[in-house]
Amino acid sequence: MTTFDRSSFSLNGKVALITGGARGLGQFYSEALSLYGADIFVVSASQNGWDDTRQKVEQNGQQIGFLQQDITDPDAADHIIAAVLEQFGHLDILVNNAGIQIRNDVLDFKDEDWQKVIDVNLNGLYYLSHAAAKVMVKQQHGKIINIGSMQSYRAGKRIFPYAASKHAVLGLTRAYADALAPDHIQVNGIAPGYIKTDMTTALQNDPVRGPEIQGHIPSGDWGTPDQLMGPMVFLASAASDYVTGVMLPVDGGYLLR
């Protein structure tokens, strides 16, 4: 008798906290998880995209909460988790999606830009993971999904603080996965490839790099945000309960070459 059925992918009754969940790729994660039954709580630096995201989540029949909060504030994480618990009573899924990228040559990089990238992409992610893990250990279940990048695996010399932060996200994902597995908490990541978003518009339109990147992708084209939705639902659901410590590339095969 197998325990696997259609409900293995269901997120009915689950609550997902998504950083940066109202804009860019984060909005697609909010849409995907609510489509499968999760209520959504978004934390973001501004209120950009809130109305649109509310509409999408409510159209899927789910509830949504928002908090405008800078995740780089070390004192903010407990406040964010408390807000989720106050609205929904539990926290089942944390998606650490908020991220920034600053581009410059290694020798021209400013210290404050290094600090900014590390603060959002790594420190903010750590603060929230730490605060969420305490709740999930008490519950004895939970899913943490960290958004890495191909730069979790590649050198990224013109975005090196970004690449350094995303390598660290991979390391943190693996360490947390190991530490929290006995408490029935899975910690995984998604490493999106070259996806058509605002973050990559300049690169898509670059007459040299645009075609160069496209030529390097085995599947032949840039990805679209909706291609990340299935992997997100899988990692958030019981269908992946025996998967932990993995950073799943969703890149059309880019990392194979």
Supply the minimum distance, in Å, between the C-beta of residue 90 and ligand NDP.
22
- Residue 120: how many CB atoms within 10 A of its CB? 22
Distance between CA atoms of 189 and 167, rounded to whole angstroms? Answer: 12
Question: How many C-beta neighbours within 10 Å does residue 138 have?
Answer: 11
CA distances from 77 to 54, 83, 211, 253 (A): 22, 10, 41, 35
Contacting residues toward ligand NDP, per CB under 6 A: 19-20, 22-26, 44-46, 48, 70-72, 97-100, 120, 124, 147, 149, 192, 194-195, 197-200
Cβ closer to ligand NDP: 19 or 186? 19
DSSP alpha helix (H) spans, the chain: 24-35, 50-59, 76-88, 111-118, 125-139, 160-180, 201-205, 209-216, 229-236
The CB-of-71 to ligand NDP minimum distance in angstroms stands at 4
To ligand NDP, the closest distance from the beta carbon of 251 in angstroms equals 9
Judged by beta carbon, residue 14 or residue 23, the one nearer ligand NDP is 23
- Work out the number of other CB atoms within 10 angstroms of the CB of residue 256: 11
Active site residue 162: yes
Nearer Cβ to ligand NDP (103/141): 103
Nearer to ligand NDP, 147 or 168 (CB): 147
CB of 58 to ligand NDP, least distance (A): 19
Rounded to a whole number of angstroms, the minimum distance from the CB of residue 60 to ligand NDP is: 19
* Catalytic residue, candidates 127, 153, 162, 176: 162
Which residue, 154 or 174, is less far from ligand NDP as judged by CB? 154
Listed residue (238, 169, 162) closest to 10, CA to CA: 238
CA distance 76 to 56: 27
Cα separation, 139 vs 256, whole angstroms: 39
Helices (H), 140-180: 160-180
CA nearest 199: which of 101, 106, 104?
Answer: 101
For the bound state, the minimum distance from the C-beta of residue 183 to ligand NDP, rounded and expressed in Å, comes to: 26
| Closest to ligand NDP by CB, 140 or 224 | 224
CA neighbor of 130 nearest in space, from 89, 83, 187, 69 = 187
**Catalytic positions:** 162
